Amino acid sequence: MKTVIVVHGGAWAIPDDISKASVDGVKNAARAGSVILRNGGSALDAVEKAVRTLEDDPVFDAGHGAVLNTNGEVELDAIIMDGGTLAAGAVSSVRNIANPVTLARAVMEKTDHVMLTDRGANLFAESIGFPSTATDALVTENERKEWEKFKKYIVGVKELFNPKWGHDTVGAVALDSLGNVACATSTGGIRNKMVGRVGDSPIIGAGGYADNRSGAVSCTGHGEAILKVTLARLILFHMEQGKTAREAALTSLQYMVERVNGGGGAIVVSPTGDWAAKFNTERMAWAAVEGEVLSYGLNPQEDCKETFQSK
Amino acid sequence: MLPVLVVHGGAGHIPKERAELSCGGVMEAVRGGYSILRAGGSAMDAVVEAVTLLEDNPAYNAGRGSVLNVKGEVEMDALVMDGRTLGSGAVSAVRRVKNPVQLARLVMEKTNHLCLTAEGASQFARAMGMEEVPEESLITDYARMRWRKNLAPGANPVECQMGKMGTVGAVAVDVEGNIACATSTGGMLNQMAGRVGDTPCVGCGGYADNKVGAVSPTGHGEAIMKVTLSRLILFHMEQGKSAEEASDLALAYMRERVGGLGGVVVVDPQGNWAARFSSLQMAWAAARQGQLHYGLYTGEHFTEPLEKPSQ
């Protein structure tokens, strides 16, 4: 059976100076995930690997490169979900962890719970010997500068989701050779967020959802809007009703604009390998591997193709 | 048919000696919330009032009376949602707050975020001038006794869990047709520090949409999350199912797919309501057109005039 992986690096007004790095980053992550699928690995392993690759890439707001909260600290959210069992693991507002997606997977596999938050997530990480990083190790020089610039302009409360200020959650969805789907999403949230703010990413049904019967979704964009419409679950609901991945994503994104005035993007894969990467923000870096074709894009309607090479 | 208010005091297996307490509290909460609706108040005011009464009542696992986590601490989750705007507010793993549901409402009304967690939620509470209460004031002898019992060697935490899963919640439609939901919980007995259940997750622990209805669930949190129970019920209602049919379908699905038990209270925009559960018991009460309805065991449905003194 064919395998598919789709990844995104966040839906927002990606500035030109990091557009190439963003596209290269999602292509790398898609390749890394695809290699696992080609070797008979699981969808779960593939999405974890792809998201880890993006977390490690400082160009993205997740893991290394995450944005800072109002106190100048990094707080990370992540989720992973297995479409075969509906098992899920999530962490919210976790600190000093370079790969929150892997910690989320440990929550899924090593506890009876789905979600751990804040110090509880760190206590759990310690208890299983999960590697921690120094507080500033995840902060890039660029982010510190941007954050300081941001602090100078006291923005009105309603303006926090200004796409110019950066907002690039990362995520992946995959279909493996056994027909299992999985999703993973990871983020540093939005710059200058309140301490303890939890967005859509770690919330099941909002930041991601995976079900072997309907498909897998990972979302990005205005977190509060995504939560209000439970975007990931909404897209899969439309697919359960017979819509294609593309139609379901577009219908749901349009609904989110109309109902709660929120922009964003989503990547989707169905159990038969029908996939889509759609957004209504200015840009979203995305890449997908299906068979021997690596597809990718950044601007609306862009769909570049090249032959897959594992590098 | 409007206004209408339905509340629950948790699904699970309620020990006989506590059954009366459990029923009395939900009836009192429904009277409190319904008097607001009858005076022309909003659905949001009514559900917050009803849930506040249940949080203050030590017979329930929310606010005072919450279960203790494995470290012997009280960490609480709460959610409110406004069906007109899809605005929502939530707190997770918050400590030393008397009424988490009121803090969740402040998150919705005073921030541009949707969910605040742990210490960040406490900081916000302080900034809002909300009183910080001593942890002891939230802990009952009963909660401490059960916590000790569960720490004892040979204790079966899963079995003990069945004793009391009393998350509380409410759904309402006001005379203007606005719909709201609220849910609040102390979580699972002897849960890991930082464990977040379904309650503060939009679409899992509650959902409200003026166009479809509102749901507040209770039961096995991890199972509720895996099927995004609240949103699932409303999807069925969007497809033309009644509140009762949609609840039964979704609860049966949760049992089959992930082996989870629970219960829900549901309203639709016309004022039809349902209180359904797959667990042994769920304390529930509803008020509509001058009548008070209540029950505890499957199939139980008592009705009496609201005006009659409860003795």
CA distances from residue B194 to A50, A196, A205 in whole angstroms, order as listed: 27, 13, 20
- Statement: residue B117 has pLDDT above 90: yes
Least CA distance to B85: which residue of chain A?
A260
Domain A4-307, CATH homologous superfamily name and number: (Glycosyl)asparaginase (3.60.20.30)
pLDDT at A166: 53
Q: What is the pLDDT of residues A128-161, one digit of tens each?
A: 999 999 988 999 999 999 888 877 765 544 444 4
| Residue A145 forms contact with B (CB below 8 Å) | no
B interface mutation test: which of A198, A235, A238, A258 has the most B CBs within 10 A? Answer: A198
Beta bridge partners of A173: A6, A183
Within 10 angstroms of residue A16's Cβ, the number of other Cβ atoms is 7
pLDDT-derived band at A88, boundaries 50, 70, 90: very high
Please tell me whether A188 is known to bind a ligand.
no
Q: Which residues of B touch A205 (CB under 8 A)?
A: 201-204, 228, 231
Q: Please tell me the distance from the alpha carbon of residue B35 to that of residue B40, in angstroms, as a whole number.
A: 9
Average pLDDT over residues B211-216: 98
Residue with tokens 């304390």: B283
Q: Please tell me the distance from the alpha carbon of residue A235 to that of residue A220, in angstroms, as a whole number.
A: 13
| Residue B126 forms contact with A (CB below 8 Å) | no
**B51 and B168 in contact (C-beta within 8 Å)?**
yes
Judged by CB atoms closer than 8 Å, whether chains meet at A114 and B225 is answered as yes
Name which of A69, A77, A63 is nearest A147 in CA terms. Answer: A69
Q: Which of B85, B195, B235 lies closest to A116 in CB terms?
A: B195
The three-point CA angle A103-A104-A110 to 5° equals 80
pLDDT at A148: 87
| Residue B224 forms contact with A (CB below 8 Å) | no
Least CA distance to A108: which residue of chain B?
B222
Pinpoint the alpha helices (H) of B39-70.
43-56
| Residue A93 forms contact with B (CB below 8 Å) | yes
pLDDT-derived band at B17, boundaries 50, 70, 90: confident
Identify whether A272 is a catalytic site residue: no
pLDDT-derived band at A304, boundaries 50, 70, 90: very high
Domain boundaries, chain A: 4-307
| Residue B89 forms contact with A (CB below 8 Å) | no
Q: What is the pLDDT of residues A184-229, one digit of tens each?
A: 999 999 888 999 999 999 999 999 999 999 999 999 999 999 999 9
Question: Residue B153: inside a domain, yes or no?
Answer: yes
List CB contacts of B27: < 8 A, sequence separation 6 or more. Answer: B285, B292, B294, B310
Distance of CA A133 to the CA centre of its chain: 21
Which of A7-11, B120-124, B144-148 is predicted least confidently? Answer: B144-148
pLDDT-derived band at B146, boundaries 50, 70, 90: confident
pLDDT at A156: 44
Q: What is the pLDDT of residues A243-287, one digit of tens each?
A: 999 999 999 999 999 999 999 999 999 999 999 999 999 999 999
- Statement: residue B162 has pLDDT above 70: no
If DSSP codes are grouped into helix, strand and coil, which group holds residue A287?
strand
Q: Which residues of A touch B201 (CB under 8 A)?
A: 115, 203-206
- Statement: residue A165 has pLDDT above 70: no
pLDDT at B250: 98
Q: Which residues of A touch B203 (CB under 8 A)?
A: 203, 205-206, 227, 230, 233
Q: Residue B271: left (phi > 0), alpha (psi -120 to 50), or beta?
A: left
Q: Please tell me the distance from the alpha carbon of residue B1 to that of residue A82, in angstroms, as a whole number.
A: 43
Name which of B276, B116, B178 is nearest A224 in CA terms. Answer: B116
Between residues A233 and B147, the one the model is more confident about: A233
What does the longest C-alpha to C-alpha distance in chain A come to? 54
**A60 and A54 in contact (C-beta within 8 Å)?**
yes
Count of alpha carbons within 13 angstroms of residue B307, beta-carbon side: 2
Q: What is the pLDDT of residues B55-80, one digit of tens each?
A: 999 999 999 999 999 999 999 999 99
Within 10 angstroms of residue B13's Cβ, the number of other Cβ atoms is 14
Chain A 254-273, residues with CB within 8 Å of chain B CB atoms: 259-260
Between residues A38 and A154, the one the model is more confident about: A38
Q: Which residues of B touch A160 (CB under 8 A)?
A: 112
Element holding B34 (H helix, E strand)? helix B16-38
pLDDT-derived band at B22, boundaries 50, 70, 90: confident
Average pLDDT over residues B200-225: 97
**A11 and A221 in contact (C-beta within 8 Å)?**
yes
Domain extent at residue B120: 4-305
Name which of A311, A271, A302 is nearest A183 in CA terms. Answer: A271
Least CA distance to A204: which residue of chain B?
B225
**B304 and B292 in contact (C-beta within 8 Å)?**
yes
Per-residue exposure over B233-270, b if at least 16 CB sit within 10 Å of its own CB, e if not = bbbbbeeebebeebbbbbbebbbeebebbbbbbbbbbe
Q: Which residues of A touch B121 (CB under 8 A)?
A: 196
Q: Please tell me the distance from the alpha carbon of residue B110 to that of residue A146, in angstroms, as a whole number.
A: 26
pLDDT at B29: 98
Number of domains into which chain B is organized: 1
DSSP B208-241: EETTTEEEEEEE-HHHHHHTTHHHHHHHHHHTT-
Q: Please tell me the distance from the alpha carbon of residue B136 to that of residue B73, in angstroms, as a whole number.
A: 9
If DSSP codes are grouped into helix, strand and coil, which group holds residue A30?
helix
pLDDT at A157: 41
Q: What is the pLDDT of residues B126-135, one digit of tens each?
A: 999 999 999 9
- Statement: residue A164 has pLDDT above 70: no
pLDDT at A163: 47
Q: What is the pLDDT of residues A167-179, one digit of tens each?
A: 679 999 999 999 9
Is the whole model's pTM more than 0.90, yes or no? yes
Q: What is the pLDDT of residues B240-283, one digit of tens each?
A: 999 999 999 999 999 999 999 999 999 999 999 999 999 989 99
pLDDT at B159: 52
**B20 and B152 in contact (C-beta within 8 Å)?**
no
Prior bond of A202 cis (ω within 30°): no
List CB contacts of A8: < 8 A, sequence separation 6 or more. Answer: A26, A169, A170, A171, A172, A218, A220, A265, A266, A267, A277, A284, A285, A286
Average pLDDT, chain B: 93
- Statement: residue B228 has pLDDT above 70: yes
Q: Tell how strand B179-185 and strand B168-173 pair up.
A: antiparallel
Q: What is the CATH number of the domain that holds B252?
A: 3.60.20.30
| Residue B120 forms contact with A (CB below 8 Å) | yes
Judged by CB atoms closer than 8 Å, whether chains meet at B226 and A87 is answered as yes
Question: Residue B310: inside a domain, yes or no?
Answer: no
Please tell me whether A8 is known to bind a ligand.
no
